[in-house]
Amino acid sequence: MTLEPFGARLRHAMDTRGPLCVGIDPHASLLTSWGLNDDIAGLERFTRTVVEALADRVAVLKPQSAFFERFGSRGIAVLEKAVEEARAAGALVLMDAKRGDIGSTMGAYAATYLDKDSPLFSDAVTVSPYLGFGSLRPALDAAAVSGAGVFVLALTSNPEGAEVQRATAADGRSLAQLMLDHMAAENEGATPLGSVGAVVGATLGDAGVDLAINGPLLAPGIGAQGATPADLPAVFGDAVGNVVPSVSRGVLRHGPDASGLREAAGRFADEVRGAVSGS
């Protein structure tokens, strides 16, 4: 059975659980700081702890696929279980894979993350549009069929991104704005929120683009990268109500104690609510 569209499910989760996304990023250094070995046993323990501590209370959990892939098939098995258990506990799972390709290869990526019969089926996946927005069509179509979402890189939090994303297209728009306009077209008429989101760094200051895409805005950079929830209104302006701030190390460094993870996530969620509401 097809799920309710991702945008509607995300809006409900944001309204009931708060608009916070917590990354699951098992860096070798984080495993070490938790007293774990940088091996499959450490990866499994770390991942299970985060899911059990947070999946019943945060809106979105965002596993970074690369940190599981580095362990090969055994790491992917841990990722599959994490996705299943997080979704069963009520969190939406955003797979941070940043896939981007063309034709049948993009179709295979879409089948991996956006086909309900896949063991890695997630509520949404991150993708890169810089082979042309049209290259994303297999993912956009697969997401529409399954009720999943797609988050498209627009203006990322890394400084190097500007040389591509701020470049000028033939019609004078920045490439980032061109991509955002494509996203707005995909979301046209969707209520309460479209299912095609943009990735826009919280570290950007004034984003300098039109973010009214009628879709969610994933905002990495909160915490370890230097941005705070108080920065969100300046970056996102009138679109701040659709922002899903993403925090990884800012929460994860409070492990391995589950209560420490919950308290840190709760603090960030409260700060985000205050910043978005202006209170």
Rg of the chain over all Cα atoms, to the nearest angstrom? 18
Please give the structure tokens belonging to residue 133.
């927005």
Q: Is 116 a catalytic residue?
A: no
Provide the CA 243 distance to its chain's centre, in angstroms. 11
The answer to whether 256 and 36 have CB atoms below 8 angstroms apart is yes
Amino acid making up residue 37: N
The answer to whether 46 and 255 have CB atoms below 8 angstroms apart is yes
What is the 3-state secondary structure of 112-158? HHHCCCCCCCCCEEEECCCCCHHHHHHHHHHHHHHCCEEEEEEECCC
Catalytic residue chosen out of the listed positions 62, 81, 98, 116: 98
- Whose tokens are 């996530």? That residue is 265
Stated as kind and residue range, the H or E segment containing 36 is none
Catalytic residues: 98
